[in-house]
Structure 1
Amino acid sequence: MSEVRLVDPANPPSRRAPLAWATGAAIPWLVLALGQLIWFVVDHRLLWLHAVAAVTTVVGAVLGVVVVPLWRYRVHRWAISPHAVYTRTGWLVQERRIAPISRVQTVDSYRGPVDRLFGLANVSVTTASSAGAVHIVALDQTVADQIVAQLTDIAALGVHDAT
């Protein structure tokens, strides 16, 4: 049996990933700010409570829209070898996943509305594992297509059944 060497994933998401993540995070914060504005227009009582809510929203929005996407970009990495798919994800809680190619069952790509807006795609590698699929997120569409093709080719060459 050949020795499998652990690889520290080195490939980052697309350079557009932080902007896409920031855009996705900004939407709920804008809805919350709009709700607070309507609340202020309708009810002028308890101005201190309006101020606390506004400050909390601004701080949360700055963290969620500026800090978290940049931090995620620094942490998220992926790699593919002939033996496994490696990912490192998270921002506050970080997770490293290794999925052996022999366990790969399906390889899918998916794109949400914000992904499409920025020309990004995500790859989901489903394995015979109770931990769930391995996700490689925020890739350029062409890179995601290449990964799907590469993983499909590698998995097809395997002699072991993934079940």
Structure 2
Amino acid sequence: MEETVRLRPPRHTLNERAVGWWRVRLLLNTAAPVAVLAVLGAFIGPARTWLYVSATAVAVIGLAATAFFPHWWFKVHRWEVTDDAVYVRTGYFRQEWRIAPMSRIQTVDTVRGPLEQTFRLATVTVTTASAKGAVRIEGLDHETAADLAERLTRITQATPGDAT
């Protein structure tokens, strides 16, 4: 009788600083349209009230999203690397599991944008031969990301396969 293998959640959470990083990103993405609407309201007389109301609505929604979503995302994002594969799980209502077998990995990249650098975070992107695209692990401590990229490079070099 065959034993059923169940997929368990990946073991690792992201770095806690990812919550702050996501909050700042959301605030910046909220501030831009609010500023545009407010400036337009200052220069356009007849539609001023509607522009200010719109700016206020966008600001309230953006602030609510900033208060709620980053903590929630931190709870649901998980990742793990074994000698066989890279596992990433995201989402709550619409969960997405990405599994990249080591034999299919083509490149491993580490990226640190200006905001990530401020929070001492990095993103590891694992490119595979999949039509779905690369597997991304965002919100990692920059040292963890560098160690992970080095480990993945070592494992994939030692793994037989042609990554196609």
TM-score category of the 2 structures, normalised to the smaller one: 0.7 to 0.9
Aligned to 1:139: 140
Q: Which residue of 1 aligns with 2:155?
A: 154
Name the SS of the counterpart of 1:148 in structure 2: helix
**CA shift for structure 1 position 6:** 3.6
Q: Which amino acid in the other structure matches residue 18 of structure 1?
A: V
After TM superposition, the structure 1 = structure 2 runs for residues 114-129 of structure 1, keeping only pairs within 5 Å, are 114-129=115-130
Q: CA deviation at 1:98?
A: 0.7
Query: Which structure 1 residue ranges, 5 or more long, are not aligned?
Result: none
CA contact (8 A) 1:13 1:76 kept: yes
Q: Deviations over 1:72-104 (max 9, x none)?
A: 111111001111100012466431101111111
**TM-score normalised by structure 1 residue count:** 0.87
Superposition RMSD in Å? 2.1
**Are the equivalent residues in 2 in contact too, given 1:103–1:161 (CA < 8 A)?**
yes
1:8-157 matched pairs, under 5 angstroms: 8-45=9-46, 49-50=50-51, 52-90=53-91, 93-157=94-158
- Tell me the CA shift for residue 51 of structure 1: 5.1
**CA displacement 1:96-125 (0-9 Å, x = unmatched):** 101111111111111111111111100001
Choose 79-88 or 35-44, whichever is displaced more: 35-44
Greater Cα offset, 36-45 or 98-107: 36-45
Question: Number of matched residues?
Answer: 161
Give CA deviations for 1:2-56 in whole Å, capped at 9, x if unaligned.
xx87442121111100101111121121122222222332245456524531342
Deviates more, 1:27-36 or 1:87-96: 87-96
**Any stretches of 5+ residues in structure 2 without a counterpart?**
none
Q: Structure 1 residues 102-111 or 63-72, which shifts more?
A: 63-72
Q: Distance in 1 between matches of 2:93 and 2:28?
A: 21
TM-score after normalising by structure 2: 0.87
Q: Secondary structure at the match of 2:139?
A: strand
Q: CA deviation at 1:128?
A: 1.2
Identity %: 37
Asked if the contact 1:7/1:86 (under 8 Å) is kept, the reply is: no
Q: CA deviation at 1:71?
A: 1.5
Using the TM superposition, name which of 41-50 and 108-117 deviates more: 41-50
Structure 1 runs (4+) deviating above 6 angstroms are none
Distance in 1 separating the partners of 2:37 and 2:52: 10
The verdict on how the C-alpha distance between 1:84 and 1:5 changes in structure 2, with shifts beyond 3 A counting, is farther
**For residues 60 and 91 of structure 1, what CA distance do their matches in structure 2 show?**
20
